[in-house]
A = this chain, B = another copy of it.
Amino acid sequence: MQDPNLTPLSSLGEFGLIDRLTGAYKPSNPSTLKGIGDDAAVLDYPDRKVLISTDLLIEGVHFDLTYYPLKHLGYKAVAVNLSDIYAMNGTPEQITVSLAISSRFSLEAIEEIYSGIYLACQTYGVDLVGGDTTSSRIGLVISVTVVGSAPAGEIVYRSGAKENDLVCVSGDLGAAYAGLLILEREKSVFKADPSMQPELEGLDYLLQRQLKPEPRADIINDLRKAGVQPTAMIDVSDGVASDIRHIAKQSGLGCVIFEDKLPIFQTAYDQLAEMQIDPTTAALNGGEDYELLFTISQADYDKIKDHNDISIIGYMTTREEGYHLISKSGTKVELKAQGWDALKS
């Protein structure tokens, strides 16, 4: 039924669509210091900058209720938003939560979601300050908006990286994706034979990475204590390959990432290999790690080199050098962002 003269969204991808819709738009209020194009917008209020970010979670796209505990879902909906504020080097302070719910949910089910929301609020010192609750005929929808703040000089944009800056990432990569694949596998097994018990022994960490991600407030604090202000930063939601390209593009640079430096948790590596998924591809494109990907000046190297949860995985180059991955065998290949379009469709 689609008019062939119309552009299918599939030809654009998420970022292409956003570019198309917002590329020509210019904010006009003096208080809008930074609008679309980073993890959060920055609003210029006296003395402090207000940060705001928002995320929409849709049943059947972002979560599958057949294996997603409702409490975890509430927690994650908040956590992924807070992650955006930390990725600006800011402090989240308030959230709003909107829920669309169908009549198949009981009060107790919604309370489970809220218990996760409150737990995340408590854990990260954030206040729930509003929202909207509505009925839905089309499944569960959760929309979270977070407001935070930072002193003006401390905000870290995606655009501040300099040539030769080191590319760093916190924690490990690919485990959330491995967790998702395991949950999908066990769902299939259960569907085929409901008497089967899920095989989840020893996989707690991978499942937790998928079901209950933690934004890295601790890393922000550690960097502050060490006297390191990243030159650019983003949270890893779509996958390092896609996310480092955002930093490179907005900073007018290229980058080199070393495959052998990618931090992959051993259990994730083993599980991915067993499922015949290339662990490097998963680490680069799996997404939903909610780690911090940031660049620092080489002068700051000594201050972070002993941090046992930060890996240096590459460096920034000139724009002309493009985006590259140096494989374990030493081959230089183009670093392709497959994130949203490939793995998750």
Does A134 belong to the interface (CB within 8 Å)?
yes
Q: Given known contacts A7-B106, A137-B60, is B48 in contact with A129 (CB within 8 Å)?
A: no
Q: Given known contacts A27-B128, A61-B136, A139-B138, is B108 in contact with A6 (CB within 8 Å)?
A: yes
Interface range on chain A (Cβ under 8 Å from partner): 35 or more
Chain B proximity of A236: nearest CB distance (Å): 16
Does A278 belong to the interface (CB within 8 Å)?
no
Chain B proximity of A33: nearest CB distance (Å): 9
Query: Residues of B contacting A309 with CB < 8 Å?
Result: none
CB within 8 Å of B: which of A73-117? 93-94, 96, 98-101, 103-111, 114
B106 touches A3 (CB 8 A): yes
Inter-chain CA distance A47–B149, complex, in Å, is: 15
Does A54 belong to the interface (CB within 8 Å)?
yes
Q: Given known contacts A61-B137, A127-B28, is B103 in contact with A9 (CB within 8 Å)?
A: yes
Query: Residues of B contacting A43 with CB < 8 Å?
Result: 50, 93-94, 129, 147
Query: Residues of B contacting A3 with CB < 8 Å?
Result: 106
Does A21 belong to the interface (CB within 8 Å)?
yes
Q: Is the interface of A mostly helix, strand, loop or mixed?
A: mixed
B17 touches A143 (CB 8 A): no
Contacts A35-B128, A56-B99 aside, 19 further interface pairs with beta carbons under 8 A come to A3-B106, A9-B105, A9-B106, A9-B107, A20-B111, A22-B128, A32-B93, A32-B127, A41-B94, A41-B130, A54-B96, A56-B132, A58-B135, A58-B137, A58-B141, A61-B137, A62-B134, A141-B141, A147-B147
Q: Using CB atoms and an 8 Å cutoff, list the residues of chain A in contact with chain B.
A: 1-3, 6-10, 12, 14, 17-18, 20-22, 25, 27-29, 31-32, 34-36, 40-41, 43, 45-48, 50, 52-56, 58-62, 93-94, 96, 98-101, 103-111, 114, 118, 125-139, 141, 143, 145, 147, 149
